[in-house]
Amino acid sequence: DTEVTQTPKHLVMGMTNKKSLKCEQHMGHRAMYWYKQKAKKPPELMFVYSYEKLSINESVPSRFSPECPNSSLLNLHLHALQPEDSALYLCASSQEAALEARHTGELFFGEGSRLTVL
């Protein structure tokens, strides 16, 4: 069983809708991540939060807006998306923050939220 929980598992939305993806971890991890994965492709990093602060933003369009309300929760707010944004969105966490020297890079992934934009 994964210890990173993502909701919803499936989401269908129109291009004018506003929706949110949610992620929760209770492992005491200090960093949380959003990845986007298209079919048969590796995950692509979108955002990294370390100690609840945004530390990496991989030039993601503003129609994706991350939020980290506390150390256990991570949201991804979606607005005015395009059909090409349809993908599996994966949340992950790591024990150490990405900027810490002992950070090994090991990530714990949730099962993902599959988004379809019509």
Partner 1 sequence: AQSVTQLGSHVSVSEGALVLLRCNYSSSVPPYLFWYVQYPNQGLQLLLKYTTGATLVKGINGFEAEFNKSQTSFHLRKPSVHISDTAEYFCAVSVRAGTALIFGKGTTLSVSS
What does the binding site for partner 1 look like in residue numbers (CB under 8 A)?
2, 4, 6, 33, 40-43, 45, 48, 56, 90, 92, 98-112, 114
Distance CA 118, CA 105 (A): 35
Please enumerate in sequence order all residues whose Cβ is within 8 A of that of 13, keeping only pairs 6 or more positions apart, or say none. 19, 78, 81, 115, 116, 117, 118
Q: How far is the CB of 91 from partner 1 (least distance, A)?
A: 8
Q: How far is the CB of 56 from partner 1 (least distance, A)?
A: 7
Q: Which is nearer to partner 1, 48 or 78 (CB)?
A: 48
Q: Which is nearer to partner 1, 1 or 84 (CB)?
A: 1
Q: How far is the CB of 116 from partner 1 (least distance, A)?
A: 13
Q: Which is nearer to partner 1, 112 or 117 (CB)?
A: 112
112 conformational bin, left if phi > 0, alpha if psi -120 to 50, beta if neither? left
Distance CA 5, CA 112 (A): 8
